[in-house]
Amino acid sequence: MKNRLVLLMLLSLATPGLLLAGKGHDHGEEDGLDDFSGIEIAPEKHDHDDEGHQHEKEGHDHEDDGHEEQGHGDHGGHGGEDDGHGHGEVASDAELSAEQRRIAGIETMVVRRQSLGDAIKAPGEAMLNAYRTTIVTPRTPAQVMARHARLGDHVKKGERLVTLSSVEMAEAQGALMEANVELRRVKKLGRKVVSEKRFVAAQIAYQQAYARVSAYGMTRKQINSLIKTGDATRATGEFHLLSFQDGTIISDGFVVGELIEPGYVLMTISDESLLWVEARLTPEDAARVKLGSPARIQVGNQWLSGKVAQARHTLDETTRTLAVHIEVANRDDALHPGQFVTAVIEGSNKRDGIVVPVEAVLRSPDGDWQLFVQSAPDRFEPKEIKVLETVGDRMLIEGVAEGTTIVGKGAFFVQSEMAKGGFDPHNH
pLDDT 10s digits, 391-414? 878 888 999 999 999 998 888 888
Q: Is the pLDDT of residue 26 over 60?
A: no
Final residue belonging to a domain, choices 241, 270, 299: 270
Of 15, 41, 19, 37, which is closest to residue 28 (Cα–Cα)? 37
Q: Is the pLDDT of residue 53 over 50?
A: no
Residue 169 and residue 215 in one domain? yes
Residue 314 pLDDT class (50, 70, 90 cuts):
confident
Final residue belonging to a domain, choices 321, 350, 379: 350
Residue 299 and residue 420 in one domain? no
**Residue 41, domain member (yes or no):** no
- Going by the DSSP 8-state scheme, the letter that residue 7 receives in this structure is H
**Residue 43, domain member (yes or no):** no
pLDDT value at position 412?
A: 85
The chain-wide mean pLDDT, for the chain, equals 80
Residue 306 and residue 356 in one domain? no
Final residue belonging to a domain, choices 350, 365, 383: 350
Residue 220 and residue 326 in one domain? no
Residue 173 and residue 241 in one domain? yes
Residue 97 pLDDT class (50, 70, 90 cuts):
confident
Residue 67 and residue 186 in one domain? no
Percent of the chain at pLDDT above 90? 44
Residue 76 pLDDT class (50, 70, 90 cuts):
very low
Residue 172 and residue 228 in one domain? yes
- Looking at residue 44, its amino acid is E
* Rounded distance between C-alpha atoms, residue 348 and residue 288, angstroms: 5
- Looking at residue 192, its amino acid is K
**Residue 203, domain member (yes or no):** yes
E-assigned strands of 218-339? 238-242, 247-251, 259-260, 267-270, 274-281, 294-299, 302-311, 322-329
**Residue 100, domain member (yes or no):** yes
Q: Is the pLDDT of residue 145 over 80?
A: yes
**Residue 42, domain member (yes or no):** no
Residue 170 and residue 232 in one domain? yes
Residue 40 pLDDT class (50, 70, 90 cuts):
very low
Residue 75 pLDDT class (50, 70, 90 cuts):
very low
| pLDDT (average), residues 230-242 | 87
Buried b (16+ CB within 10 A) or exposed e, 283-292: eebbebbeee
Q: Is the pLDDT of residue 42 over 70?
A: no
| pLDDT (average), residues 308-327 | 90
| pLDDT (average), residues 152-169 | 95
* Rounded distance between C-alpha atoms, residue 278 and residue 405, angstroms: 37
Residue 150 and residue 258 in one domain? yes
**Residue 31, domain member (yes or no):** yes
| CATH number of the domain enclosing 334 | 2.40.30.170
Report which of residues 52 and 97 the model is more confident about: 97
* Rounded distance between C-alpha atoms, residue 86 and residue 75, angstroms: 19
Task: Give the chain's domain count.
Answer: 5
Per the structure, the complete domain to which residue 417 belongs is given by 94-116+352-427
* Rounded distance between C-alpha atoms, residue 101 and residue 22, angstroms: 71
* Rounded distance between C-alpha atoms, residue 132 and residue 152, angstroms: 16
Residue 161 and residue 212 in one domain? yes
Residue 25 pLDDT class (50, 70, 90 cuts):
very low
| CATH number of the domain enclosing 397 | 2.40.420.20
pLDDT value at position 240?
A: 93
| CATH number of the domain enclosing 224 | 2.40.50.100
pLDDT value at position 151?
A: 95
Residue 275 pLDDT class (50, 70, 90 cuts):
very high
Residue 189 and residue 301 in one domain? no
Query: Is 210 buried (19+), middle (13-18) or exposed (0-12) by CB count in 10 A?
Result: buried
Q: Is the pLDDT of residue 160 over 90?
A: yes
- What is the pTM (predicted TM-score) of this model? 0.60
Residue 294 and residue 413 in one domain? no
Whether the CB-CB separation of 354 and 126 falls below 8 Å is answered with no
Of 305, 313, 386, which is closest to residue 345 (Cα–Cα)? 305
